[in-house]
Chain A
């Protein structure tokens, strides 16, 4: 018997906005009118957001992109009824290599290794049964059944080498072992889904495309450290992610995978949602805690760390979305399998969002250790025609720019630090010769000034002062004294600020001054902006 025909339509924020919702409706209608026995399924993100809206027809994994409403009709008539491919909507390589009919043939996917995103774009995120059919919640069952108990789970995560995907890279197993060692009847697990980095959208995609993986990660964490309650702290700017999470939580509760006596093991755990309300600083864990408790999101000094004194002063684990989504994979496939992925110090895969001046924008998952050049040129397809890549900004407002000549740097926590940036949460912004690095530094510093919570003076006052200097420079009124002061001030802000936001706020300035000093000089000495971005300067 032939496998049933199915059409998977991406239903994540980006594809929806470019016409995906309409595509789904029209496709369903056409199929019904033609009397075909074909199932149309809404899925999460495939990652190739620049091609949206996309639809994949199975069997065969034929990828159709930029599907407009007429295209939906064509797919129904020509492909589903007539058995022929709709040539007009197939993927066409920009490098002139002709059409690619099938998903796996597309260069964008060739160098990727989809471990965490394996189910994204494949299953309906609003149906728990589809997750279970893909071995979902089996890792939880495994953990609960294991003779090694909670300590065995902590040990497995330790041995896997998993490090925090929120950006700092702290070993997850170590964090868990600290929390497990705390004597307290009440402990909490918090999933940090505040993804405030402009240009990063991997957490949104995971929550929209595979929310149960995050819940399962939280359950396993709860079991490992002895917590009974979890919260997902999620940005309100992600309404679709919030909706899918709510559905996922309800479905898991209904099946008894959340709540009391889970799978008959005696383990109780439940999850609720805490809404973030638009403050970048709330990604910092101590600020997040205050926000989740209904206060202004102002950070405090650490120690004490949240694992000792967190939510309502109880021991609390705070893990990023992607970190938690890795956990079920580690338990299911084994820590040894996981540790074989990636490099010596950075295990596993990393999800990046690709945006800016690049042909293929979207979401990718790659093994740690791949070079930035491979990501940008092979997966991303390089810059738009006729342009030249100048730099790649990693780590968002806390990160730095890696210049084109250093793009061979392998993607791991230490290598990126060595070139003056950070892994960060995974937003990669590609910049080309039409971008001005001084202006970019100004953009990030304005962002930091706007998002500074105001609790400490170096950040509240220092960052604003840095913005003033950068504004003078981009207006063509900068002096060499300004440049000198800029460097000093950036150092002061880094040294003296209270929390991670302030300590890293000046990184974009420091890294652009290091690698693009000539642009600063041109702005000050020649009153020239080669990229033509700074309007006050002739070029």
Chain B
């Protein structure tokens, strides 16, 4: 059995658990996205058949909500927060800098598959504005100058390893050996 078949088996179990009521569709799609990385037409069709819904209904839901993606994502998904607090602290400039460095537009993936650049709605950690998330990790108090270092950190992360330690933690380790003067992110005012 290959990985994809295994994923479909897991998905069927989730549909059994949450799919009884039509309200479970959003939850099922979440889990499907977790398993497959994105909601492909095949996955949407599979969910529709198993839940006795029309493919149109499932597709309509999958494309209505910002959290669902219907195209493959890069290894590192960068989501720049575009909430008000981040906006008034120049999040737009940070997004521009990412576009420039990665050479992609918003909601696109780099050719090497390493990065997907996207924006996110407010994640409610406005004290850290401007901020972004890379995959599940939040990075706060950003500066335009700090963007290049952040990209470098995640670029260094070897594609083939599945380490416990995130590149950021490794960098912190190095940081402690270094003087504090060349920090990429602006330190919070104290």
Contacts and interface: CB of A to CB of B under 8 A. Distances in A.
B23 A198 contact: no
Interface stretch (B8-16, B107-115, B134-142, B143-151): B134-142
A237 interface: yes
A294 B84 contact: no
A49 interface: yes
A277 B67 contact: yes
A279 B64 contact: yes
Interface string A270-301: 00001111111000000000011111110000
A260 B16 CA distance: 24
A69 B141 CA distance: 18
B85 A429 contact: yes
B66 A199 contact: no
Interface of B: 21-27, 29-30, 57, 60-61, 64-68, 82-85, 87-89, 120-129, 131, 136-141, 169, 172, 176, 188-190
B167 to A, nearest CB: 15
B30 A277 contact: yes
Contacts of B139: 17
11 contacts: A14-B128, A16-B138, A92-B190, A237-B67, A274-B23, A277-B29, A277-B67, A355-B85, A355-B127, A356-B84, A431-B88
A500 B53 CA distance: 30
Contacts of A17: 125, 128, 131, 137-140
A219 B123 CA distance: 28
Contacts of A292: 23
Contacts of A69: 176
B124 A201 contact: yes
A52 B127 contact: yes
A443 interface: yes
A355 B140 contact: no
**Band of interface residues on A:** 35 or more
A291 B26 contact: yes
B26 A49 contact: no
Nearest to B129: A355
Contact of B65 (A65, A277, A353, A362): A277
Contacts of A291: 26
Given A13-B124, A204-B124, A279-B65, A198 B27 contact: no
Contacts of B120: 237
Contacts of B65: 276-279, 297
B170 to A, nearest CB: 13
Contact of A384 (B25, B128, B189): B189
Interface in A55-103: 65-66, 69-70, 92, 94
Contact of A198 (B21, B84, B172): B84
A198 B121 contact: yes
Given A236-B30, A278-B65, A429 B131 contact: no
A383 to B, nearest CB: 12
A200 B64 contact: no
Interface string A329-368: 0000000000000000000000001011101011000000
A356 B85 contact: yes
Contacts of B61: 294-296
Nearest to B131: A17
Contacts of B125: 13-14, 17, 49, 201
A229 B93 CA distance: 46
Given A17-B128, A277-B30, A239 B88 contact: no
Nearest to A89: B190
